[in-house]
Amino acid sequence: MDISARVMLIAFLCLYVVGAAAAVSSADIVAKRRAMLASKPYTSLVPRSNEPVGKLTILRVWPDEIDMRLALGALQGLVNRDRPRIYIGLDKPLYWLEYHGGKVWPEIEYDVFKVFETYKERVKGLVIYDSSVDGLGSIAVTYAGIEDLIPATPELAERLSARFGWKVAHDLRGRWQNRLEAYQWAYENLLPRCNKYALMHFNHGYQPRDPTQWSEAGQQIGFNVDYAVAFRLFVWHIGHEPVPGEMDLAVKIMESAPLFTPVVGASTGLNMYPEPYLVCFIAKYTNLFIPFGPSNVSVLSGARIPDRLLKRNQPLPARDLEADKVYVAFTNSEHDNMEHLIGGGPPWQVTGIETDDPYRMWWCDPQRGKVPMGWPIGPLLCELSPATLAHFVMTATDNDYFMASLTGLALTSIPDFATAYPQAQEEIVAEYARMTAKYLKRLGWTMVHAWSPPDKIGPFVKSFPGLEGVLEGYGTWPDMTYDKANYLIKGVPVFHSLTTGSPSTRRDRPIADDYKRKARALAREITSVKIDERPAFMHAFTIGWDYGPTILKMVADQLPLDYVIVRPDELAALYKKHKEK
């Protein structure tokens, strides 16, 4: 995710447009949405595919043409709906198939049209959209899921129709005056036919004439279409600058779903609502935003991995509490992004956690494991791509500490969570905490990287069984000082970040060019914190786009000898030992 959007989250968290007042009481809405949740037909939080078994076609190309990407992604979703059969293999993500237990065997293919030919009987027709019109591609993807269609631009539709005989079922061109009118129609006519337990926020197929609207989100076009189509998701987006009535419609969409509905997708680019506002808005209505742009989840979510391969129980290092030391724990952000974790994204070799590209270095960094660090990860990876999580668990060192990312099961804002339902807010926040705890217990994780000011985090922490600590912050609060940063809530240590996490550097050159400067900047920031007592305890947050294991090892080497780098769980244990004296 773009760092400017994340910084905005801190600066403008509450500055979003509020929807119109509900016609019925909030208690009635909560009761209705809770009843919908009780009738959910599957136990996982997110929709998952059946287990891949047998032949799996590995298509080793990904088209450059955006309209072909949407068409191919839709075909993959249709074909994979009953059992995964098509995997779009993009470099390193392919090797994660080894964790599928040998139940699939790959058949490599390089011809896109041959794959269309093989599965042409699965397709019932075409839905035509105009890629220059905001929102039409998303309506086409929604149509594709509920009527087994292929979304296509007029030009591509001619090619596909001539080659495979597919007829045009729907032509979306010229039907509506604007995005709001189109989505209002889709809400009334398509949403009732869609999956009621998940939504997707994305502007599919949109190719803006203004190049400034093209961003990393634009590169994602086509990658998550298979998931939307396979599970018949309703797809829409809020505009970057919503027009009158647009937020009212968004509220209706939010409240059409059960409580805690996952909203997968993206924000900010391609004329989509900026991430800070979207996070707050989705949280307000008690849904869960999952940054989501990867391909192949219609395959990867089907893996059934033994829990022992997903669970990481790192024993604490044997360390005595020393009275003269400053204990520092690093966290490294951005790993709540599913495309970042899974790969096969836009382009994966630059933004994926497994990259060895010189511009970014995380899991493949040769210095990983040389210094303790916290890896906040989206826990729902265990459902969306358990093979990926198994890979991380099996290759982790004792210095790689997994914890839930920002904040818990989703990228969310605790201060805003369930504020649309003030009478039930405390109960709903507690329920969300317990849901997160359930997933963390399965994974063997005991800590959360959270975002919340000190006066708002209490209800989440108090309701979280088994929680051993919270490292809070995406940056540091303007008035945060050491004497305010650390405290206990019902015996649970909370550490607010005392670092900004970023040296405000350029990101268009290899990070190796800036290793020394970045390391000096972070070491200086850590040692400049005014500490009047020892032992001391510090959460040093770092932004993943700027920091990785190599730089953190350099920071550790530059700190004074009385500064000791520890894992997040060790920081919590030492702090509790100190407070018990």
Domain spans in the chain, listed from the N-terminal domain onward: 3-300, 325-579
Block residue for tokens 């039930």: 424
Closest to 254 (Cα-Cα) out of 227, 240, 226, 234: 234
Least reliable range by pLDDT among 38-52, 85-99, 430-444, 543-557: 85-99
* Three-class SS state of 290: strand
Q: Is the preceding peptide bond at 208 cis, omega within 30 degrees of 0?
A: no
**Residue 480 clears pLDDT 90, i.e. is over it:** yes
Mean pLDDT of 234-260: 98
Mean pLDDT for 444-455 is 96
Q: Note whether 420 and 26 are within 8 A (CB).
A: yes
For residue 138, the Cα-to-chain-centroid distance in whole angstroms is: 19
Type of residue found at 280: C
Q: What was the pLDDT predicted at 349?
A: 55
Residue 141: closest CA among 239, 218, 226: 226
Does residue 21 have a pLDDT over 60? no
According to CATH, what is the number of the domain 325-579? Answer: 3.20.20.490
User: In the structure, what pLDDT confidence band is assigned to residue 511 with cuts at 50, 70 and 90?
Assistant: low
What HEC string does 107-146 produce? EEECCHHHHHHHCHHHCCCEEECCCCCCCHHHHHHHHHHH
Task: Of 192, 162, 191, 187, give the one whose Cα is nearest residue 176.
Answer: 187
Please tell me the predicted confidence (pLDDT) of residue 89: 77
The predicted pLDDT at position 11 comes to 43
> Which range (10-24, 114-128, 133-147, 291-305) has the least confidence?
10-24
Q: Among the listed ranges 92-106, 379-393, 427-441, 538-552, which one has the minimum average pLDDT value?
A: 92-106
Helices (H) and strands (E) in the chain, counts: 22, 19
Nearest to 541 by CA among 373, 401, 407, 370: 373
What is the model's pLDDT at position 102?
Answer: 74
pLDDT of residue 50: 96
Rounded to whole angstroms, the Cα distance separating 361 from 350 reads 9
* Secondary structure (3-state) at 296: coil
The pLDDT mean for the chain works out to 91
Q: Which residues are CB-contacts of 272 (< 8 A; sequence separation ≥ 6)?
A: 201, 202, 203, 217, 237, 238, 239, 240, 266, 278
Q: Is pLDDT above 50 for 9? A: no
The stretch 430-441 carries a mean pLDDT of 97
- Which residue in 53, 171, 57 sits closest to 119, CA to CA? 57
**In the chain, % of residues over pLDDT 70:** 90
Distance from C-alpha of 228 to C-alpha of 222, rounded to nearest angstrom: 10
Cβ(297)–Cβ(46) below 8 Å: no
- Checking if the pLDDT of 5 tops 80, the result is no
- For residue 223, the model assigns a pLDDT of 87
The tens digit of pLDDT for each residue in 209-231 reads 776 666 666 777 888 999 999 99
Q: Examine the pLDDT at 235 and tell me if it is beyond 60.
A: yes
Q: Which of 269, 232, 193 is nearest to 4 (CA)?
A: 269
State how far the Cα of 406 lies from the Cα of 415, in Å rounded to an integer: 13
User: What SS3 state is found at 264?
Assistant: strand
Q: Is 250 helix (H, G, I), strand (E, B) or coil?
A: helix
At residue 3, the pLDDT reads: 45
Per-residue pLDDT, 545: 86
- State the pLDDT at residue 137: 97
Q: What is the pLDDT of residues 245-256, one digit of tens each?
A: 999 999 999 999
Beta carbons within 8 Å of 276's beta carbon, 6+ residues apart: 5, 6, 8, 9, 10, 11, 12, 13, 16
Helix/strand/coil for 151: strand
Mean pLDDT calculated for residue range 47-70: 92
- Better-predicted residue by pLDDT, 64 or 327: 327
SS3 content of the chain, % helix, strand, coil (to 5): 40, 15, 45
Return the amino acid letter for 12. F
What's the pLDDT tens digit per position in 356-411?
A: 777 678 999 999 999 999 999 999 999 999 999 999 999 999 999 999 999 999 99
Q: What is the rounded distance in angstroms from the CA atom of residue 522 to the CA atom of residue 539?
A: 12
Is pLDDT above 70 for 19? Answer: no
Q: Indicate if the pLDDT at residue 24 is higher than 90.
A: no
- 1-15, 93-107, 485-499, 504-518 — most confident range: 485-499
The answer, as to whether pTM is greater than 0.85, is: yes
Q: Are 469 and 486 in contact (CB under 8 A)?
A: no
Which amino acid is residue 553, in one-letter code? Answer: K
pLDDT (average), residues 333-354 = 79
Which pLDDT value is given to residue 321? 96
| Secondary structure in 3-state letters for 494-555 | EEEECCCCCCCCCCCCCHHHHHHHHHHHHHHHHHCCCCCCCCEEEEEEECCCCCCHHHHHHH
For residue 12, how many other CB atoms are within 10 A of its CB?
13
The better pLDDT of the pair 287, 97 is held by: 287
Rounded to 10 deg, the angle between the 275-284 and 246-255 helix axes is: 50
The pLDDT of residue 198 is 98
Q: Please check whether residue 233 is in contact with residue 217, taking contact to mean a CB–CB distance below 8 angstroms.
A: no
- Note the pLDDT tens digit of each residue in 165-214: 999 999 999 999 999 999 999 999 999 999 999 999 999 999 877 766 66
The angle at the Cα of 217, spanning 61 to 119, to the nearest 5 degrees, equals 35
In this model, does residue 570 exceed pLDDT 90? Answer: yes
Is pLDDT of 238 > 50?
yes
97 vs 336: CA distance, rounded Å = 22
User: Which tokens sit at 503?
Assistant: 């040296």
- Burial level of 324, CB count in 10 A (0-12/13-18/19+)? exposed
Q: Which pLDDT belongs to residue 296? A: 92
pLDDT range class, residue 13, cuts 50, 70, 90? very low
Q: Which two tokens stand for residue 34?
A: 């809770």
Confidence of residue 105 (pLDDT cuts 50, 70, 90): confident
- For residue 546, the model assigns a pLDDT of 87
Predicted pLDDT at 348: 57
pLDDT at residue 260 is higher than 50: yes
Q: d(Cα 241, Cα 235) in Å, to the nearest integer?
A: 18
